[in-house]
Amino acid sequence: MKYFATLAPILVVFAAHFAWAEEAPKQNRLRLETSAYLQMHADNPIDWYPWGDEALAKAKAEQKPIFLSIGYASCHWCHVMEEESFSNSKIAEFLNKHFVCIKVDREERPDVDSVYMLATQIMTNSGGWPLNVFLTPDAKPFIGTTYLPAEDREVPLADGQTVGVQPGFLTLAKRVAIAWKEQQPQLEEVGDNVTRALKQVLGRPLLPPELADRDSIFRTFDRTLEKEFDPRFGGFEFEEGNDRVPKFPQPSYLVYLLKRNDAGDANAGNMLELTLEKMAHGGIYDQVGGGFHRYSTDRHWKIPHFEKMLYDNAQLLSIYAQASKSLDKPEFADVARGIADFVIRDMAGPEGQFYSAVDADSDGEEGAYYRFTPEELQEKLSADQLRLAEQAFGMTGEPNFEKAYYIPQFYGAPEAEKLAELKEALLAIRNERTKPFLDKKVITGWNGQMIRGLADAGRILDEPRYLEAASQAADYLLKSAAANDGRLRRTSEKRENHPPAYVDDYAMLIDGLLALHEATDNQRWLDEAVKLQGMQQKHYGDEAFGGFYFTPNDNSNLIVRGKLYTDGALPSGNAVSVSNLKKLAKLVPDQAEQYNTLAQKTIESSSTLLNDHPNSTSRMAAELVEP
pLDDT of 67-98, one tens digit each?
Answer: 999 999 988 899 999 999 999 999 999 999 99
Residue 112 has pLDDT above 90, yes or no: yes
DSSP letter assigned to residue 290? -
| Per-residue pLDDT tens over the stretch 279-319 | 999 999 999 999 999 999 999 999 999 999 999 999 999 99
Q: Which residues pair with 59 in a beta bridge?
A: none
Residue 21 has pLDDT above 60, yes or no: no
Task: State the Cα torsion 306-308-309-311 to the nearest 10°.
Answer: 110
- From residue 444, alpha-carbon distances to 107, 171, 315, 570 in Å are 11, 40, 15, 13
Residues whose CB falls within 8 Å of the CB of residue 507, separated by 6 or more in sequence, listed in order:
445, 448, 536, 548, 573, 574, 576, 577, 580
| Per-residue pLDDT tens over the stretch 499-532 | 889 999 999 999 999 999 999 999 999 999 999 9
Contact 28, 44 (CB under 8 A): yes
Q: What pLDDT, on a 0 to 100 scale, did the predictor assign at position 207?
A: 62
Q: Which residues pair with 163 in a beta bridge?
A: 156
Distance CA 497, CA 19 (A): 35
The predicted model gives 257-263 an average pLDDT of 97
The predicted model gives 415-436 an average pLDDT of 94
Q: Chain-centre distance of CA 572, in angstroms?
A: 12
Residue 413 has pLDDT above 90, yes or no: no
Residue 597 has pLDDT above 80, yes or no: yes
Rg (CA), the chain: 25
Other CB atoms within a 10 A radius of the CB of residue 328 amount to 8
- pLDDT grade for 486, boundaries at 50, 70 and 90: confident
- Per residue in 216-229, is it b (16+ CB within 10 Å) or e — as a string? ebbebbbebbeeeb
Distance CA 491, CA 445 (A): 9
Query: Measured between alpha carbons, how far apart are the two ends of the chain, in Å?
Result: 44
Secondary structure class of 553 (helix, strand, coil): coil
Nearest to 46 by CA among 116, 18, 55: 55
Distance CA 60, CA 136 (A): 9
Distance CA 298, CA 243 (A): 5
- Angle 573-587/592-605 helices, nearest 10 degrees? 160
Residue 4 has pLDDT above 80, yes or no: no
Task: State the Cα torsion 312-314-316-320 to the nearest 10°.
Answer: 170
Distance CA 30, CA 620 (A): 38
- pLDDT grade for 493, boundaries at 50, 70 and 90: confident
Q: Which residues pair with 121 in a beta bridge?
A: none
Q: What percent of the chain has pLDDT over 90?
A: 84
Nearest to 103 by CA among 81, 119, 124: 81
Q: Which residues pair with 315 in a beta bridge?
A: none
Q: What pLDDT, on a 0 to 100 scale, did the predictor assign at position 14?
A: 33
- pLDDT grade for 30, boundaries at 50, 70 and 90: very high
- pLDDT grade for 497, boundaries at 50, 70 and 90: low
Q: What pLDDT, on a 0 to 100 scale, did the predictor assign at position 7?
A: 46
The phi, psi pair for 308, rounded to 5°, reads -120, 125
The predicted model gives 419-447 an average pLDDT of 96
The phi, psi pair for 50, rounded to 5°, reads -75, 160
Secondary structure class of 594 (helix, strand, coil): helix
Residue 587 has pLDDT above 90, yes or no: yes
The predicted model gives 158-166 an average pLDDT of 71
Domains of the chain and any CATH numbers: 2-203 (3.40.30.10), 370-432 (no CATH)
Nearest to 467 by CA among 491, 488, 490, 450: 450
Q: Chain-centre distance of CA 231, in angstroms?
A: 26
Residue 54: CA count within 13 A, CB half-sphere: 10
- pLDDT grade for 271, boundaries at 50, 70 and 90: very high
Q: What pLDDT, on a 0 to 100 scale, did the predictor assign at position 498?
A: 75
Residue 615 has pLDDT above 80, yes or no: yes
Distance CA 184, CA 190 (A): 10
Distance CA 81, CA 149 (A): 7
Residue 10 has pLDDT above 70, yes or no: no
Distance CA 334, CA 494 (A): 38
Residue 2 has pLDDT above 60, yes or no: no
Helix (H) or strand (E) holding 511: helix 503-520
Residues whose CB falls within 8 Å of the CB of residue 93, separated by 6 or more in sequence, listed in order:
20, 21, 23, 24, 45
Distance CA 133, CA 143 (A): 6
- pLDDT grade for 205, boundaries at 50, 70 and 90: low
Secondary structure class of 154 (helix, strand, coil): strand
Among 12-21, 150-159, 286-295, the range scoring the smallest mean pLDDT is: 12-21
